Chains A and B, each alone.
Chain A
Amino acid sequence: MVRQTQAYRVSNPVDINVASASGAIQTPPRGANLETRQDNVISIINLNVYYGAFHAVADVSFDVPKHHVTALIGPSGCGKSTVLRSINRMNDLVPGARVEGSIKYHGHDICSPRVDPVEVRRRIGMVFQKPNPFPKSIYENVAWGARINGIRGNMDELVERSLRQAALWDEVKDKLKDSGLALSGGQQQRLCIARTLAINPDVILMDEPASALDPISTLKIEDLMRDLVRQYTIVIVTHNMQQAARVSDQTVFFSLNERRQGVLVEASPTRELFTNPRDQRTEDYITGRFG
């Protein structure tokens, strides 16, 4: 991981509290990392998420560099999944959810009302905590997303390529007509990854993709992520610090402030965050002193 020379922004916790109290939108301290901006696929700037009257996420800002795995970690309920779901506008589907601030995707603010969430989601795919294949055949599971997105051409080839990329082809190539629900949990999750790959996304969001799986399946998914990051940009939420340390290049640590709002504590290259955390709270969490 020696290549990671970009300057990572670290949000100052004091600033966060001030900003959320006043409600002011601040320009994040951008520093002298102009030359690396081009490599950020996504820049989250002062993100606030509300569920009804509940202020779930307060003033979160960080960048997602291209062809990197960015891991979001933190105690449960700290808003890391909420932040992830904001990136492909899945929060639109939650009644009462409201997002403020901006999420720049290649410079376009995807939170803008002029942006069609459908367009966002076909570029920023998502894999969920619990494998959720469609109750269709394995083939259809992969082909469906491509078909509704108007991808034409040799569908058999696309299905095979996607399944190969997801390291599932050898296990299912003889039973493509079988139901996706007949697969094991780990295979189902890789099927869900394959169907996401089939629509050729730019970014893949993964919400605790291995938390419902056994250790061997988990390992396969982790291997797969390292494989995929050469072509894609990956953001993963995980509650498992070892997993974050194993697979990610950058780690973003979230915590709860005294008002039970999710705040960003530290965003650093993974090795740095785990070996030399800048914030006391990060250190408490990774050393297990935090409950």
Chain B
Amino acid sequence: MKDGFVGQAAAPGVSPLAAAPPAQAALDLSGAKSRNVSERLIGAFLFACGSLSILTTVGIVFVLIFETIEFFRLVSPIDFYTGTEWTALFDREYGVLPLVSGTLLIAVISMAVALPLGLMSAIYLSEYAPDRARAVLKPTLEILAGVPTIVYGFFALTFITPNLLQPILPQTEVFNALSAGIAVGIMILPMVASLSEDAMGAVPRALREGAYALGATKLEVSTRIVVPAALSGIFASFVLAISRAVGETMIVVVAAGARPNLVPNPFGQIQAMTSYIVAVISGDTSVGGRVYLSLFAVGATLFVMTLALNIVSQRMVARFREVYQ
């Protein structure tokens, strides 16, 4: 076989090693049955794995809706969504607005921390940082993102409040929204920074080079070209961060107290939707009772809020991708 036959066709049938053509009648291309059955079984199992996530969603929606409807039999939804008093455990007033305003206060404070710092970090990491700085900063952000929220709660309660807030603002109570909000801000900072940095990284080089060619400085390129070009991606990270802050539980439970208030005071206690759920469940609530059901009504409200924020964020990311990818 090793003697070359370049440029010269071997005569079919002459070569002793030529494979005999498969007999026409014996040629069956429909595939072995046993193999097809096992392939199909595996495919079905994998399909089931993929579809289990749908079951999770159905479960969440079903549980929330079912128990919330039960709750609305006892408490009118109008009272629930317009009431300004939440004293579920004492006077049985179920107006959810004080919990919502507590949640929003935490979200506002945390965004005041995470938004500017996250955006500036993203600009630095994407446009300025030398490799050596990145090698330190990126893992730091990853570690910060991996710290359990209970640890942030402990940090807010035992460090931020007594060592940072109370010396400067003596009116700050032991449990207060401000320290919890700051801690939540620290928690979501890595997310804002890394998602915004990704968005800026996706801005084409040509756009930057075009601006540099016109004599723009690095700052001008970063802030007037890259940031505007990446804006929808950056906003998407903000919205996702708000959603995370709204859903954050343990920091608020540990550091922000348990006093619902329609007009919350950042230096005093508040109660957020999430912290209500945990506060109630930690006590003994009878299954099916009014307080038990109120958990699910609050949970449903929380779920709808975060879902809406997540969808908005996904839309923004999708629009951003359309432009650049």
A residues at B contact (CB < 8 Å) = 1, 3-4, 39, 41, 66-69, 105-108, 110, 114-116, 118-120, 123, 164-165, 167, 200, 202, 222-223, 226-227, 229-232, 246-247, 249
Q: Which residues of B contact A231 (CB under 8 A)?
A: 15, 17-19
The CA-CA distance from A232 to B24 in the complex, in Å, is 17
**Most chain B CB neighbours (cut-off 10 Å) among A41, A116, A167, A202:** A116
Q: Which residues of A contact B22 (CB under 8 A)?
A: 106, 123, 202
Q: Is residue B12 within 8 Å, beta carbon to beta carbon, of the partner chain? A: yes
Q: Which residues of B contact A165 (CB under 8 A)?
A: 1
- B29 touching A249 by the CB < 8 A rule? no
Q: Which residues of A contact B15 (CB under 8 A)?
A: 230-231
Determine which of B6, B17, B29, B35 lies in contact with A230 in the assembled complex, contact meaning CB atoms within 8 Å: B17
| Closest beta carbon of chain B to A190's beta carbon, Å | 14
Q: 21 A–B contact pairs at CB < 8 A?
A: A3-B11, A41-B21, A67-B12, A67-B18, A115-B29, A115-B31, A118-B31, A119-B28, A202-B21, A222-B6, A226-B5, A226-B7, A227-B1, A227-B5, A229-B10, A230-B1, A230-B17, A231-B15, A231-B18, A231-B19, A249-B9
| Closest beta carbon of chain B to A225's beta carbon, Å | 9
- A119 touching B10 by the CB < 8 A rule? no
Q: Is residue B8 within 8 Å, beta carbon to beta carbon, of the partner chain? A: yes
| Closest beta carbon of chain A to B221's beta carbon, Å | 37
Q: Which residues of B contact A226 (CB under 8 A)?
A: 4-8, 10
- A68 touching B9 by the CB < 8 A rule? yes
Q: Is residue B36 within 8 Å, beta carbon to beta carbon, of the partner chain? A: yes
Do A120 and B11 form a contact, CB below 8 Å, given A67-B18, A202-B19, A227-B5? no
Q: Is residue B2 within 8 Å, beta carbon to beta carbon, of the partner chain? A: yes
Q: Is residue B30 within 8 Å, beta carbon to beta carbon, of the partner chain? A: yes
Q: Is residue B27 within 8 Å, beta carbon to beta carbon, of the partner chain? A: yes
Task: Report, nearest first, the 4 A-B pairs whose CB atoms are least far apart.
Answer: A116-B31, A230-B10, A67-B12, A230-B15
Q: In the complex, given contacts A105-B29, A230-B1, A230-B10, what are 9 additional A-B residue pairs having Cβ atoms less than 8 angstroms apart?
A: A41-B21, A67-B9, A115-B29, A115-B30, A123-B22, A222-B6, A227-B5, A229-B10, A230-B18
Give the nearest-CB partner of B15 in chain A: A230
- B21 touching A106 by the CB < 8 A rule? yes
| Closest beta carbon of chain B to A276's beta carbon, Å | 19
Give the nearest-CB partner of B13 in chain A: A67
Give the nearest-CB partner of B7 in chain A: A246
Determine which of B7, B12, B14, B29 lies in contact with A116 in the assembled complex, contact meaning CB atoms within 8 Å: B29
B residues at A contact (CB < 8 Å) = 1-2, 4-15, 17-19, 21-22, 24, 27-31, 35-36
- B29 touching A119 by the CB < 8 A rule? yes
The CA-CA distance from A226 to B24 in the complex, in Å, is 27
The CA-CA distance from A66 to B12 in the complex, in Å, is 7
- B9 touching A108 by the CB < 8 A rule? no
Determine which of A106, A115, A123, A164 lies in contact with B1 in the assembled complex, contact meaning CB atoms within 8 Å: A164
Q: Which residues of A contact B12 (CB under 8 A)?
A: 39, 66-67
Q: Which residues of B contact A68 (CB under 8 A)?
A: 9
Q: Which residues of B contact A249 (CB under 8 A)?
A: 9
Do A116 and B9 form a contact, CB below 8 Å, given A106-B24, A230-B18, A231-B15? no
Q: Which residues of A contact B28 (CB under 8 A)?
A: 119
The CA-CA distance from A170 to B15 in the complex, in Å, is 23
Q: Which residues of B contact A4 (CB under 8 A)?
A: 9
The CA-CA distance from A39 to B18 in the complex, in Å, is 14
Q: Which residues of B contact A246 (CB under 8 A)?
A: 6-7
- A223 touching B29 by the CB < 8 A rule? no
The CA-CA distance from A119 to B31 in the complex, in Å, is 6
Give the nearest-CB partner of B14 in chain A: A230
The CA-CA distance from A68 to B13 in the complex, in Å, is 12
| Closest beta carbon of chain A to B16's beta carbon, Å | 9
**Most chain B CB neighbours (cut-off 10 Å) among A1, A106, A167, A246:** A106
| Closest beta carbon of chain A to B297's beta carbon, Å | 44
| Closest beta carbon of chain B to A255's beta carbon, Å | 26
Give the nearest-CB partner of A4 in chain B: B9
The CA-CA distance from A69 to B18 in the complex, in Å, is 15
- B4 touching A106 by the CB < 8 A rule? no
Q: Which residues of A contact B14 (CB under 8 A)?
A: 230
- B24 touching A116 by the CB < 8 A rule? no
- B4 touching A223 by the CB < 8 A rule? yes
Q: Which residues of A contact B8 (CB under 8 A)?
A: 1, 226
Determine which of B2, B5, B29 lies in contact with A120 in the assembled complex, contact meaning CB atoms within 8 Å: B29
Determine which of B6, B11, B30 lies in contact with A223 in the assembled complex, contact meaning CB atoms within 8 Å: B6
The CA-CA distance from A227 to B8 in the complex, in Å, is 9
Q: Which residues of A contact B21 (CB under 8 A)?
A: 41, 66, 106, 202
- A108 touching B29 by the CB < 8 A rule? yes
- B30 touching A230 by the CB < 8 A rule? no
Q: Which residues of B contact A41 (CB under 8 A)?
A: 21
Give the nearest-CB partner of A161 in chain B: B1
Q: Which residues of B contact A116 (CB under 8 A)?
A: 29-31, 36
Q: Which residues of B contact A119 (CB under 8 A)?
A: 28-31
Q: Which residues of A contact B24 (CB under 8 A)?
A: 106-107
Give the nearest-CB partner of A65 in chain B: B12
Give the nearest-CB partner of B39 in chain A: A118
Q: Which residues of A contact B9 (CB under 8 A)?
A: 1, 3-4, 67-69, 229, 249
Q: Which residues of A contact B17 (CB under 8 A)?
A: 230-231
Determine which of A107, A114, A164, A232 lies in contact with B30 in the assembled complex, contact meaning CB atoms within 8 Å: A114
